[in-house]
Amino acid sequence: MNHGLPLLLLVEVPQRTVNALTAELASTAEIVQSTVEDVLVHTGGTPGLRRLTVAVLGEGVTAPVGVVHSLRPHPADLAVAVMAAPATQDKLAVLPLLFPDDVVHRVQDSETAQRMPQVVSELLQRLTHRHAHAAAQAAAQRHLSSGTSIDRQLGERLLGQFLTQAPIGVLMLDGDAVIAWNPRAADILELTEPDSVHRPVTDLFPKDQRTALHRHLTASGPDRDAEPDAVFERVRSDGTSQALRMAVRQLLDTEGRSRTLVLTEDVTDRLHAQRKLAERTGHALLTAEVAAAMTAPGPLDERLHTCVRATTDCLGADRVCIWSLNTHGELVHAVCAEDDAESPDTSFCRTTQRALVEQVVAARRPHLDVPPRTDPHASSPAGGRGSFAAFPLISGGDLLGVLSLTTSLALPGSVITTLENIADQIAVGTQQDRLLNRLSEATRALERPLLPPTLPDLPGFDLATRYAPFSQGLHIGGDFYDAFTASDGRHVLVLGDVCGKGPDAAAITGLVRHTVWAAAQHTSDPAHVLSLVNNALRRQSTPFCTLVYVVLDATRSPARLHIASAGHPAPLLRRANGDTAPLDTRGTLLGVLETPSHAVTEVELRPGDTLVLYTDGFTEGAGAADQRDPEDLAAIVASLAPTGTAGPAENVATALLDDARRWWGERLRDDLAVLALTALPVRTASGKGAGTSTG
């Protein structure tokens, strides 16, 4: 007998299998054949302290489960291999529930002779490894405990049964050298006997992690309290990444020798899940930021730059570009952002990416050059090759451009999906911008006939207008004004407000303006002109219109004003001395009654006097329930300081518009139009204004 070798105990094993085992393992184990009755003689002793033994139960064992229980296999010194036969299959089904596979292993009948030597060899290797590890731990324990007692934080059983069987890895360090570990630590950190004994624990980690790990292992005092554990990453022998949480505790023996206990836990999957959650959250925020940018007001180029800058920052890309197709279908580099560069070199895009982007335009589908990732936790592509991805910007079936991204990082499926979503949002926003531009052009085309291109030059008078539609861009207001000289030499001033907004209101405004002009070519008499306008509106069955119609007779001195109002707010008259009041002008709306009534008010406009016409946006800008009186506007005009002879009407019109915007603020819901006419003081030969009467 050779008790220096492990024991291989064969219990009623067929001779064919005995021969195979003997041929393979005779030099590494003592092989003994036994019956069921004698098996306990060879396997007696205290579990964990017995001779290393692998028992093989043959097919002839009628109660294999009972025999296994009687052997009481232990992972440190006894393992069992059971040969399964059809008659015992059902009985052996409970073994995996009672014992782990590395302690009790079943071998199917069809593979017994071929597989049994390999199975037994593996079981022997596990027993030998566990025995050597336990011996190393015992030696370390004796070395630490000889002549002294360990601090009672963990007691004398530093790596006793509890820590040995703990589901968390436990390392014992002398300085930074590994001197003992439990099986879980061996599995996590791939520690082997004897190579890992006295090896610095920092050597198990990449160089860029070692300084931080050493600082973590040796920290003390407030630093230790502030960071009781930390996560460090390493690469396993199979090339996969691994994240370990390391908790450190310092121990002192009675002679002051320092020992370090390290509890380590594999948190790779947890860290990956956290990163995945953070990645998804970041992608969701990026998608929201792009959506907000593409729906925000402002020039399209600025909004696109916000999108590419946000994409570059969030995804860690080297460069993100947006290419557009102009009206001629030509590919144009629109905007891009480079990592850590506000003004990237766009020539790089044109020379290195244009051909790839043209492929996307031609195929109208994404182009992806993304290396595969062999490690699900890795961030860099395999082989160090970067990634390129480009997505067509398509909305409503129209190809508008291409979104491209270049990066040295890996591009997982989640990033590609996010880029697809971003491309869709940019495409929709770009398409909407183009549609809005077309509508804006149409709006401007409709607005052009509503206002005179220029104001007439009236010698001796200063004429100024201001017009502010409620909403810029696509909104067509219902306010209008006009000023021209009639065929009888008198000057006509008109300011009105058509009921409604948009294209319908624009059509009515055009009808009113041109009817006023055409009627005044025959005679500028207010009754004649307003009657024709009323008939034109009734003929078209249009909504009503308010209007103030002024005829300026400059042939008289002082000049005279003939004013007729059709349901419009009362004009203001500011005298040269600043006195200002609304004029009493009344009349029926246009387009309502078959026979309207419009009284004509005549007033003198002396040098320095100013006539002010305005629409109801100044008095009812936030709705009919929130009004200002004409007297309020008169007080504003009266408070204006004299401006001399240069642009007094301009001063009045601007002041009223600014005041209305301040007064209504965000409550404003109507258009604003104002027309001001000032009679200039008569200049004497010396160039100074002559005195005027203010009666």
Question: What was the pLDDT predicted at 228?
Answer: 61
Stated pTM of the model:
0.49
Residues forming beta bridges with residue 30, ordered by sequence position: 7
Tell the burial category of 455 from Cβ atoms under 10 Å away from its Cβ (0-12, 13-18, 19+). Answer: middle
Q: What is the DSSP string of 643-654?
A: -TTS-HHHHHHH
Q: Cα separation of 5 and 28, whole Å?
A: 7
User: Residue 61's closest CA among 70, 52, 50?
Assistant: 70
Q: How far is CA 127 from CA 40, 41, 121, 133, in A?
A: 19, 20, 10, 10
Count of C-beta atoms within a 10 Å radius of residue 610: 24
Q: How far apart are the first and last CA of the chain?
A: 143
Cβ proximity of 502 and 490 under 8 Å: no
Residue 591 tokens, joined: 């387009």
Write phi, then psi, for 401 (nearest 5 degrees): 165, -160
Same CATH fold assignment for domains 7-131 and 283-444: no
Q: Cα separation of 214 and 1, whole Å?
A: 50
Question: What was the pLDDT predicted at 298?
Answer: 86
Question: What was the pLDDT predicted at 692?
Answer: 42
3-state secondary structure of 328: coil
Question: What was the pLDDT predicted at 463?
Answer: 95
Assign a CATH topology to domain 283-444: Beta-Lactamase (3.30.450)
The per-residue pLDDT for range 242-258, each reduced to its tens digit, is: 999 998 887 654 456 66
Low-confidence residues of the chain, pLDDT below 50? 147-158, 226, 253-254, 374, 376-377, 381-384, 645, 684-686, 690-695
Tell the burial category of 61 from Cβ atoms under 10 Å away from its Cβ (0-12, 13-18, 19+). Answer: buried
For the domain 7-131, what is the CATH code? 3.40.50
Question: What was the pLDDT predicted at 506?
Answer: 77
Mean pLDDT computed over every residue of the chain? 83
The per-residue pLDDT for range 473-496, each reduced to its tens digit, is: 555 667 889 999 998 889 999 999
Count of C-beta atoms within a 10 Å radius of residue 264: 22
3-state helix, strand, coil split of the chain in percent (to 5) is 40, 25, 35
3-state secondary structure of 59: coil
What are the sequence ranges of the domains in the chain?
7-131, 148-266, 283-444, 451-679
3-state secondary structure 217-285: HHCCCHHHHHCCEEEEEEECCCCCEEEEEEEEEEEEECCCCEEEEEEEEECHHHHHHHHHHHHHHHHHH
Cβ proximity of 340 and 334 under 8 Å: no
For the domain 148-266, what is the CATH code? 3.30.450.20
3-state secondary structure of 423: helix
Write phi, then psi, for 534 (nearest 5 degrees): -60, -45
Write phi, then psi, for 207 (nearest 5 degrees): -60, -35
Q: Among all chains, which residue has been given the structure tokens 């860690």?
A: 316
Question: What was the pLDDT predicted at 495?
Answer: 95
H helix intervals, 73-202: 89-92, 95-98, 112-145, 161-164, 183-189
Question: What was the pLDDT predicted at 253?
Answer: 45
Q: Which is it for the CA torsion 197, 201, 206, 211, positive or negative?
A: negative
- Say whether domain 451-679 belongs to CATH 3.60.40.10: yes
Cβ proximity of 281 and 291 under 8 Å: no
Q: What is the DSSP string of 84-108?
A: --GGGHHHHTTHHHHS-TTTEEEE-
- Segment (H or E) for 18: helix 15-25
